[in-house]
Amino acid sequence: MPNMSLQKNPMPSQDPQVRNKNFQEVALGYTKEIALDEAARCLNCKNMPCVKGCPVSIEIPNFIEKVKEGDFEGAYQVIAKSSSLPAVCGRVCPQETQCESKCVRGIKGEPVGIGRLERFVADWHNEHAGEEAVRPQPNGHKVAVIGAGPAGLTCAGELAKKGYAVTIFEALHLAGGVLVCGIPEFRLPKSIVQKEVDGLKAMGVDVECNSVIGKVLTIDERMDEMGYEAVFIGSGAGLPRFMGIPGEELNGVYSANEFLTRVNLMKAYREGADTPIKKNQRVAVVGGGNVAMDAARCALGLGADTVYIVYRRGMEELPARKEEVEHAEEEGIIFKTLCNPVEVVGDEKGFVKGVKCIEMELGEPDASGRRRPIEKPDSEFVLDVDCMIMSIGTSPNPLIKSTTKGLDTNKHGCIVADEATGQTSRPGVFAGGDAVTGAATVILAMGAGKSAAKAIDEYIQNK
């Protein structure tokens, strides 16, 4: 008998007033009992609508069936057929707009907690399964992957499964990309990312850190001199954007990339860390996406008294996941919506002492279909803050584009690649993730890495 409860089982979480002072994971994960109860809500629909909502097409009802049977390792094996990073996706995928949005149970009541079940299964596997690395039979072909973020890791994993000798070249000293630089510990513990990377290494994937492609070696050298038959570029989003308003050069104005990299990759939240971060008391984060939520919650965790999200549209328009907005609100972050910075005010020593903002109202929908924010005349006011974090997007990194002949980019500087295959204007060169789309989600990057792996396999086999 299916469990006909209209609500999904809530996620056990750390208390908001405790977690806003630490960096431990907020969501604690389902227990075995809760997982069994939640799995029983799945109706195992024949036409599997949820799978169509998944960028990597995980056989969702099949893995949930295994959970119902109590065969958690079996469930993991079903997920692992389609996803290289289950423990990551179970945590950071926007399931509410993907698989769960298609769930029949969502028509009346809440959809099945697919993401939470995925996370449970992946964590169970990581805790219980003895890691027996299955090294696929080598097929004698070499592929280079640039960037060890979600797109690159997925592409590498898929190719390794098929027997390719894959080398990932990562610019930083640690693999993981946005999973280690951007997404904070409390949302995605770094030990989980490390485990996923170790899993790839156990399959035979070689990860070379400290390798900036375009600088130490170019793509042409990889292909011509080093015998890589194909290259996948998953180099990520790139340089942070600023607003171009007066005062952005003041000390205390960070890009979200810088702030989060200091906190996450460089562990600046730890007492005695070598990499400094200012412990600011009053912080304004500009922007309304997931990255803005992460930055705001990190600022709080670092000990700030007051943290604002400054966003030019309304609460309804916030691009961040609903769950992230709710977490931020519970932890005490103040949302200053319909509000836009016009100037950063500094003290005589060049440090931020306030942000001058102007109130906004929503007008007619613009080209993106969202209502255009318009400034309200004479509505300026100053937010009293000592730190401002700009989280308003990125523009592509120029390094690969400027050192790879014949690689086309669009007017924004993003690499032009076929949506279905990742094929670029250069034969044998594929690309996917934020380097192609501009800043998007982890799972979309993984989806691109996966389809590119399939296309690379076809390209090499048909050569």
Binding site for another protein (CB under 8 A): 171-173, 181, 209-212, 215-217, 236, 238-240, 242, 244, 248-252, 254-255, 257-258, 261-262, 266-267, 273-276, 278, 349-350, 397-399
Q: How far is the CB of 233 from another protein (least distance, A)?
A: 14
Pairing of strands 306-311, 282-286: parallel
Q: Which is it for the CA torsion 9, 34, 90, 293, positive or negative?
A: positive
Nearer to another protein, 355 or 435 (CB): 435
Q: Which residue reads 């390794």 in tokens? A: 160
Residues 6+ away with beta carbon under 8 Å from 248 = 242, 344, 390
Nearer to another protein, 115 or 252 (CB): 252
Residues in the chain: 463
Q: How far is the CB of 98 from another protein (least distance, A)?
A: 27
Nearest CA to 143 among 128, 160, 126? 160
The structure tokens listed for 45 are: 């629909």
Nearest CA to 220 among 403, 382, 39, 7? 403
**Under 8 Å between Cβ of 207 and 201:** yes
**Under 8 Å between Cβ of 154 and 446:** yes
Q: How far is the CB of 178 from another protein (least distance, A)?
A: 10
Q: How far is the CB of 75 from another protein (least distance, A)?
A: 36
Nearest CA to 437 among 407, 402, 394? 394
Nearer to another protein, 350 or 406 (CB): 350
The structure tokens listed for 36 are: 């069994």
The structure tokens listed for 35 are: 């997982």
Q: How far is the CB of 210 from another protein (least distance, A)?
A: 4
Nearer to another protein, 242 or 381 (CB): 242
**Under 8 Å between Cβ of 154 and 449:** yes
**Under 8 Å between Cβ of 145 and 155:** yes
Residue 360 Cα to chain centre, angstroms: 29
Nearer to another protein, 275 or 461 (CB): 275
Pairing of strands 352-365, 206-208: unpaired
Residues 6+ away with beta carbon under 8 Å from 223 = 144, 229, 231, 428, 429
Nearer to another protein, 24 or 275 (CB): 275
Q: How far is the CB of 154 from another protein (least distance, A)?
A: 20
Cα-based distances in Å from 300 to 19, 305, 416: 10, 7, 39
Q: How far is the CB of 409 from another protein (least distance, A)?
A: 14
What distance separates the 2 farthest-apart alpha carbons in the chain? 70
Nearer to another protein, 30 or 254 (CB): 254
Nearest CA to 392 among 279, 245, 207? 245
Nearer to another protein, 96 or 248 (CB): 248
Q: How far is the CB of 252 from another protein (least distance, A)?
A: 8
Nearer to another protein, 104 or 217 (CB): 217
Nearest CA to 353 among 382, 383, 377, 385? 385
Q: Which residue reads 């005010």 in tokens? A: 345
Nearer to another protein, 95 or 391 (CB): 391
Q: How far is the CB of 303 from another protein (least distance, A)?
A: 15
**Under 8 Å between Cβ of 145 and 157:** no
Nearer to another protein, 173 or 412 (CB): 173
